[in-house]
Amino acid sequence: MAKEEKKKSGGYSAEQISVLEGLEPVRKRPGMYIGTTGPEGLHHLIWEVVDNCFDEAMGGHADEVGVTLNPDGTVSVSDNGRGIPVDIHKQYKVSALELVLTKLHAGGKFGGEASGYKISGGLHGVGVSVVNALSEWVEARVERDGGVWVQEYKFGKPQFKVKQIGKSKNHGTTITFKPDSSIFETTVFDLKTILDHLRQQCYLTKKIKVTVTDRRAKGQNDIYCYYFEGGVASYVRHLNHTKQPKHDNIFYVLKEADGIPVEIGVQYVDDYKETVLAFANNIYNPEGGSHVMGFRSALTRVLNNYARGKGYLKEKDDNLSGDDVREGLTCVISVKIREPQFEGQTKAKLGNPEARGAVETIFNDAFATYLEEHPRDAEAILGKCILAQRARAAARAARDTVLRKGALEGLMLPGKLADCSSKDPSLCELYIVEGDSAGGSAKQGRDRETQAILPLRGKILNVERARLDKMLANAEVKNMIIAFGTNIGEMFDITKLRYNRIVLMTDADVDGAHIRTLLLTLFYRYFPQLITEKHVYIAQPPLFRVAMGKEAHYAFTEEERNKLVDDMLKLKAERAKLKTKKGEVGAQSPAPEEEVEEGEAATTEEVEGEEGVTKISGISIQRYKGLGEMNPDQLWNTTMNPQFRMMKVVNIEDAEEADATFDTLMGSEVASRKKFIQTHAKNANLDI
């Protein structure tokens, strides 16, 4: 009977149960603790240590934070806080410093009022210990109580007991670590990523000096400093520095309610989108949460009350909606909570209900006072909100007319759309193609089962400068919205998307790049979910066709073209030599100029042949300026065949920078665009 039971259990017993001690779980499953072992996870190591520094600053114990990128690949993060305790822990009989660096969920942030921190960002207690676990080498250096204390670790294991190596009147902690190259895809830190993150943290913690030093290059010692007196008001000003504000005074409030400090900055700009950045304990909450809900509720109520009281809205007028009052809004909300409740380890959304009440109470009173004290600002804000209300009503009427139910169900698809026969969206692709000529080639060369083609006539509307009602009057934009099937605006529903991939396929010239930018602006502003869920792609058609006799190859860059020409010239020379050796009649030795070294093809004498084709020693090079120059077979084989094609997926790595870039390139501010062009003109690769 026992044997039969053992057979049923497959030999699964207590012997198969393993326990990972200390920091082993982190090295075994790093993704559980830092999300990824790619570049984001690598930089997360710095954030974990820096968070501890800012926790000291939020507690009023530090006013300087430093990050140094060293030549040996290590990173040093320091603060002038109290210094991690080095005395012996009563329960574990080791130094508190060693305990914090080697044990998960160990730290001074769990004991409530009796803990070392009333407010902190890292409440899981895995921060610096995870950094230790995922590093080849770590040194912890602490200055406190008149001494300098140090301990080193290799792969998370202490190399000696915490020891005093000198005396010091200073105080603070410096953690130096070298990421484990066997765990991370790359161990090269990106300076811009570090600067952007620390600048944001500096905005959220007033009067903290942050210094970043890059010493990686030989003889290099680049130093960057951030210090902001204005808190989130300075952050709002930074976010709007390329935009046209509707009012000069930035609304700012810093108050406390129910033990929760609340800091809010608000300014309206001449724009159609909303920018709200929410933070809890300096941690960015991309999905918002209770603090954002409290802010939005108070904003709508205060503006409606003021508009009614001052006669901006008559009795017969509808109240302003949430969408109306948030058009053109730039807002930064920062709350500090003793025990924040986040949804998941990524802390994307704040769940504390008390945060909503605190934000709603403070913002309601302060913003109402601001409107009374700044009547000109109030008039500008309400003028924009009421205009947005009217435009939204016009847009709703236009959408109801254009995008009626039958159209979205595919009964009235655009006439120019050559749809695919498959009804399974996961298999289907929509190619948005520039021009009828390229559209014709694409329609003939495609896989009719899964690939749909929608040609565009000319350049679409620049939606950066247009409201929804004006957009829906544009035939090309309207055709795309109907083809997608998702609707737009508040009626957007990604589950109705008719194609898993939407591929932008434009010519490889200046006009093609402009059309692609206009399309990306449309997606970023009105269909961001298509980008974040990786439904938008950019096709990569070849730039050149290099042929010798019946042999032809395609090149996607000038370097590839030059290499193909070099190889063909060498092959031609070898064939000529072979013919000479065989003694064939009429064979000639190759001319010296045909024997070219690799990389010299571009300097070989060129003879112009037919239009768009260059001939070099019998080799034909065709430069494709337009997709319409390819026949259907060529377009299929190079750009549309899933077996051979190359496509780039469109993704948003830095939403703030993406927003600023679209605003610069496509917005109404000419000066910033001119400066951008002048700055990057030398890097532009134009084929005019």
Annotated catalytic residues are: 434, 507, 509, 511
Sign of CA pseudo-dihedral 38, 42, 47, 48? positive
Q: Are 342 and 351 in contact (CB under 8 A)?
A: yes
Question: How many CB atoms lie under 10 A from the CB of residue 682?
Answer: 6
- Could you tell me how far CA 384 lies from the centroid of its own chain? 30
CA distances from 118 to 259, 285, 336, 657 (A): 11, 20, 10, 33
- The per-residue DSSP string of 250-315 comes to PEEEEEEETTEEEEEEEEEBSSSS-EEEEEETTEE-TT-BHHHHHHHHHHHHHHHHHHHHHTSS-T
Question: How many CB atoms lie under 10 A from the CB of residue 225?
Answer: 11
Angstrom distance (rounded) from CA 224 to CA 203: 15
Angstrom distance (rounded) from CA 165 to CA 149: 6
Q: Which of 184, 630, 199 is nearest to 437 (CA)?
A: 630
Q: Enter the DSSP assignment of 637.
A: I
User: What are φ and ψ of residue 296, in 5° steps?
Assistant: -65, -40
Backbone angle region of 657, left / alpha / beta, with phi > 0 → left and psi within -120 to 50 → alpha: alpha
Token representation of residue 344: 């998941």
Angstrom distance (rounded) from CA 399 to CA 473: 9
Sign of CA pseudo-dihedral 633, 638, 642, 644? positive
Q: Which of 393, 267, 417 is nearest to 328 (CA)?
A: 267
